[in-house]
Amino acid sequence: MAKINKIFKILIIFLIPLTLTGCFNYRDINKVTFATSMIFDTDDLGQVIVYLDCIKPYRSTNESSDKGRRLIFKGVGKTTEDALGKIDNFSSAKLNYSQVKAYIFTEKAAKEGIKKYLDLINNYGEMQIKPSAFIYYGDVEELLKATSGDDEFLGMYLNDIMNKKPFNSLSLQANINYYLSNRLMGDNTLLLPAVNLKKDVLDKKVQINGSGILKDNVLVDRLEQEDTLLYELMMGSVYEGTFEIGNPNTDTGFISLDVLSSSEDSMLRFDNNRFTLVKNIEVDLEISDIQGEAIVDSEFINYIKVNEEAYINSYITQLFNKYKEKGIDIFNVYRMKEIHYGKEEINDPLSICDLEINTKVNINGTGLSQNAL
């Protein structure tokens, strides 16, 4: 027995070092360049263009701080892997893709289809499927120039933006793993966040501005930023956002309402050869600002509730009809039909689908005082 224990201890001693081989030591890390974001584009000849926004780290046993500099690589090839191979040829250090925080498809590349890029991401061993993906509207070189200062590394900046809204439905859909898992379900229609540049006081800033709509991995339309909040209310939970409503006591003043939380419940009915998509939405709002004077009493609160419920119902109905007329199912009607009415032989359920929406608004918050001026 003692002999067996001795052999077991010796095996443990030999196995422990094997668990430590995944770490970079100081010498190794100085020989590696880490990509933080990948931008996929295409030219007029149909060639693939890949941009890598990278960090070349430097660490020393004599220094307590980390150092690194930014490197931008561009590769052009017949395929995505060919373009990456050409980048690797003129990089002095080994390129590592395990730290990519964002995959970005240009508008042009997305309109031609992103399946070939997704196949590479899914099959390439080092590339992760946890990061978010984006559609970029604009010039790539302008985008890379704009990400400077605190936002020096584009992938990290976009990753931080998405992490600010981790539970919103559009943030969850931006995940590459979610996209790969759901792209063949329903009508094969999914959304990815849209990115563009906005002129700021001193320079241009990167911003999330709506979403790109993809069907069969091809960009077909865009959900504008002003529609995003109502779309998220319709499709899932929202924990931030702002509504404005006119102040009934003034001609020009407005009342600002902050979204505290929301929930929705969906159901698809099938009667008389027509579908009805039923959406029950409940949203908690808080009065955050009042322009002009207002007596906050039960009549005032009821005015806000009634008008805001009518506004949400009307806006979402218009949004549904807009994309229904285009034949773009961003409401998961096809998927719900597959789940609940799979035996019904209907090829285009969206075209015979109506929307029934019921919204309940709650006005609450610690700052609400009854009969206050």
Domains and CATH numbers, the chain: 21-223 (no CATH), 238-373 (3.30.300.210)
What average pLDDT does the chain have? 86
Q: Phi first, then psi: what are they for 317, rounded to 5°? A: -65, -45
- Residues 266-275: pLDDT tens digits? 999 999 999 9
- Residues 279-304: pLDDT tens digits? 999 999 999 999 888 888 889 999 99
Mean pLDDT of 194-216: 89
**pLDDT over 70, % of the chain:** 83
Place of tokens 């069969």: 216
Contact 56, 91 (CB under 8 A): no
Give the three-state DSSP class for 186.
Answer: coil
Query: How many CB atoms within 10 Å of residue 298?
Result: 9
Which range among 21-25, 70-74, 256-260, 335-339 shows the weakest confidence by mean pLDDT?
A: 21-25
Q: Residue 102: what pLDDT?
A: 94
> Does residue 369 register a pLDDT over 50?
no
**Interior/surface letters 83-114, b for 16+ CB within 10 angstroms, e for the rest:** bbebbeeebebebebebbbbbbbbbbbbbbbb
Of residues 189 and 172, more confidence is placed in 189
The Cα–Cα gap between 285 and 174 comes to 26
The Cα–Cα gap between 90 and 199 comes to 34
> Does residue 61 register a pLDDT over 60?
no
- Residues 318-342: pLDDT tens digits? 999 999 999 999 999 999 999 999 8
> Does residue 11 register a pLDDT over 70?
no
Q: Residue 315: what pLDDT?
A: 97
**pLDDT over 90, % of the chain:** 54
Q: Residue 14: what pLDDT?
A: 64
DSSP for residue 141 = H
The Cα–Cα gap between 231 and 295 comes to 32
Q: Is the dihedral of CA 362, 366, 372, 373 positive or negative?
A: negative
Using alpha carbons, list the distances in angstroms from residue 74 to 54, 228, 342. 11, 33, 47
Of residues 162 and 282, more confidence is placed in 282
Mean pLDDT of 163-188: 79
Tokens representing 165 are 């809204």
Q: Residue 69: what pLDDT?
A: 79
Q: 298-326 vs 225-235: helix axis angle to the nearest 10?
A: 100
Contact 27, 38 (CB under 8 A): no
Q: Residue 166: what pLDDT?
A: 60
Partner residues linked to 136 by β-bridges: 106, 195
